[in-house]
Amino acid sequence: MIKRLLSLLFLAWVLGFAWFALLPPLPAANQKTDAIVVLTGGPGRIDRALERLEAGDAKRLLISGVAREVKPKELAAEYKRPEELFDCCIALGFEAEDTRSNATEVATWVARRNYKSVRLITTDWHMRRAEYELGRAVGDSVTIIPDAVRSQPSFATLFREYHKYLAGLAGGVLGL
């Protein structure tokens, strides 16, 4: 009985990892939302967010998890965008240090503005956990459009992220 249960759990783990690794989330289609949020930490994320903002998919952008010493002017120069874009339409979030605190930072920003829909931008391998954590933080009142930045993650990255995702799911089930 125990052997059978362990075999089933192992099979579920293997199939779950295969799903996680072989079928990553994709970039979203052009769709308007109240805001765009991007989680720092991976190449192409902020570029994608700026492209979607400039394309008119939303009027405001939050960059979550920015180092405290970073200034909007520096980001504008680094991403070759006018400072006016950062002045009018981009907020920098300095509170987040990990995915869960990203979700808290984003949820607070979204609630303050009474937004009902957000485009979430992060790397494909990170999207499932980020979307789950953000969904927990904002509840059912906000629609999240996942917009994954394509990448070539290593096996180690996928393996680590899959287990973080499972831990987040377990924490959610246990109410942690």
Is residue 110 in a domain? yes
Is residue 97 in a domain? yes
Is residue 18 in a domain? no
Q: What value does the mean pLDDT take over residues 6-25?
A: 95
Q: What value does the mean pLDDT take over residues 151-166?
A: 97
Is residue 121 in a domain? yes
Model pLDDT, residue 125: 97
CATH code of the domain covering residue 47: 3.40.50.620
Other CB atoms within 10 A of residue 171 CB: 14
What's the pTM value of the predicted model, to 2 decimals? 0.93
Residue range of the domain that includes 135: 24-151
Q: What value does the mean pLDDT take over residues 140-145?
A: 96
The number of distinct structural domains making up the chain is 1
Is residue 168 in a domain? no
| pLDDT above 80 (res 176) | no
What percent of the chain shows pLDDT beyond 70?
Answer: 100
